Amino acid sequence: MPTFYLILSHLIADFTLQPKKLLRWKHRGWQGQAFHCFIFWLISSIFLLPYLIYLQNWLIITLLAISHYIIDKIKLTLNGRSEDKLVLFLTDQAFHIFFVFIAGYLIGATPMVWPDTFFYTNMYLNVKLVTYASVLVFITYTWDIFKFLLKHKFNPKKFYKPNYRHFTKRILLFIGIYVLFIGYRYFLL
């Protein structure tokens, strides 16, 4: 379960909560990069609250945020030298996800401590809910940036601007597919 929450934390911090101003700040110096990693650390800490009674899990999340900083620092350094931003982006994301899986595995080895409440049993432990949230972030921001980088490869003068109309279309498509899937399971199975 911690791995799912860390993936969602990564998607939110790296895409949804990284506006143009923060990107510019990151490119100007270490303070912007540190702030971005603090956002990742904060979101991860909130999502993994039931695991944070153990000191080693605080340490793991902190080390994960530091690895995020180092990976982003290397990417920003190579960004000015590389023509292929898409490969750089995909490599950056692969390293982030690799460390997320390691951290999720290590944190998952410790038990959760949380009261037996409606929120905990029906919301927090609902893997589908976390998966759907991750898919929604992926099909909106992540996919939009990926498409931009594909186009940027052939037209380097373009600048990224979120296309909220396309976000809405993809969300509605996702909801439609989900409703069809639920209807199929309900009526035919």
Please give the tally of structural domains in the chain: 1
Any residues with CB less than 8 A from the CB of 161 and at least 6 apart, and which?
A: none
Closest CA to 60 of 103, 102, 97: 103
107-155 confidence digits (pLDDT tens): 988 888 776 776 666 677 777 778 878 888 887 777 777 777 777 665 5
The predicted structure's pLDDT at residue 34: 87
Residue matched to tokens 């998966």: 131
The predicted structure's pLDDT at residue 133: 81
The predicted structure's pLDDT at residue 99: 96
Residue 14 CA to residue 118 CA, distance in Å, equals 30
Average pLDDT over residues 85-110: 90
Closest CA to 170 of 138, 133, 140, 145: 140
9 vs 144, which has greater pLDDT?
Answer: 9
Q: Is the pLDDT of residue 180 over 80?
A: no
The predicted structure's pLDDT at residue 107: 93
Whether the predicted model's global pTM rises above the 0.85 cut:
no
Spacing of C-alpha 100 from chain mean position? 10
Q: Binning pLDDT at 50, 70 and 90, where does residue 106 land?
A: very high
The predicted structure's pLDDT at residue 158: 63
62 vs 89, which has greater pLDDT?
Answer: 62
11-65 confidence digits (pLDDT tens): 888 887 776 776 677 777 888 888 889 999 999 998 898 888 899 999 999 999 9
Q: Is the pLDDT of residue 156 over 60?
A: no
The predicted structure's pLDDT at residue 157: 58
Residues spanned by the domain of 44: 2-188
